[in-house]
Amino acid sequence: MTKRIFFYIVISLFFAVHANAWDMGSYVENAQAGEGIKTDSTWESQETPTAKTDLSMRTSVQKDTLKHHNVSVTYGILTLSDFAAMHISAFTSLFSLGHEKLPVSMYGAFSINYGYKFNEIVETGIIFNYAHPFEKGSFYAIMPKIKLNCNYEGFINPFVELNAGIIFSDFLPDIFPAFHITFIGIEIGRTLPITLGILGFGQQGIAYAGLGYRF
């Protein structure tokens, strides 16, 4: 009887040990599987800053596509020097009682414009202007400018512009102030825009038109 009881006890211990070992093995496998998930989660969380960096790099590349430089050539009519020539010629004829005349030509003015864009709105630069209002002389103007673009990245870009500088002549010794205000201007196109000064006043003319290049 005692031997049977002892035998039953040994058999029970044997199965209990093996059951515990099987449970431990299952626990280890589940734990390893859980670590794998955690490892993947950690990897994903580590990838998130990289994705953010890539996004910021793409955004910076898009910002760098802004064409900061702009060069254009325009021609305008009824410039400030044209009006000055008309008045000088009239006063010369008046005070000399018609004995002296100062013939005027009023050919308008050509302008070479350079602009640098700090962003999509603000642009600064300089303008070189040539006018021939008198038959015997020409005027040359240099005017820094500030320009505000309303839709620079678009196909049609309305803008306003203010220029102020100096003007001098090859037949007059003095240097005079010069300016131009573009109240309504439009650029049509992106790389080779057509520039139209629809309404303005100053050395570039009441109205002007030209062609530009952005880079």
DSSP per residue, 188-212: E-SSSPEEEEEEEEETT-SEEEEEE
Which pLDDT score is estimated for 207?
97
Indicate whether 6 pLDDT > 60.
no
Which pLDDT score is estimated for 11?
56
Which pLDDT score is estimated for 111?
98
Instruction: Give bridge partners of residue 159 from the DSSP assignment.
Output: 149, 185
pLDDT, average across residues 187-207? 97
Q: Which residue has the higher pLDDT, 54 or 35?
A: 54
Q: How confident is the model at residue 197 (pLDDT cuts 50, 70, 90)?
A: very high
Output the CA angle 128-131-133, nearest 5 degrees: 160
Which pLDDT score is estimated for 96?
76
Which pLDDT score is estimated for 172?
82
pLDDT, average across residues 9-18? 49
CATH class of segment(s) 69-214: mainly beta
Q: How confident is the model at residue 171 (pLDDT cuts 50, 70, 90)?
A: confident
CB 144 within 8 A of CB 177: no
Q: Of the spans 36-40, 51-55, 75-79, which averages the highest pLDDT?
A: 75-79
pLDDT, average across residues 187-210? 97
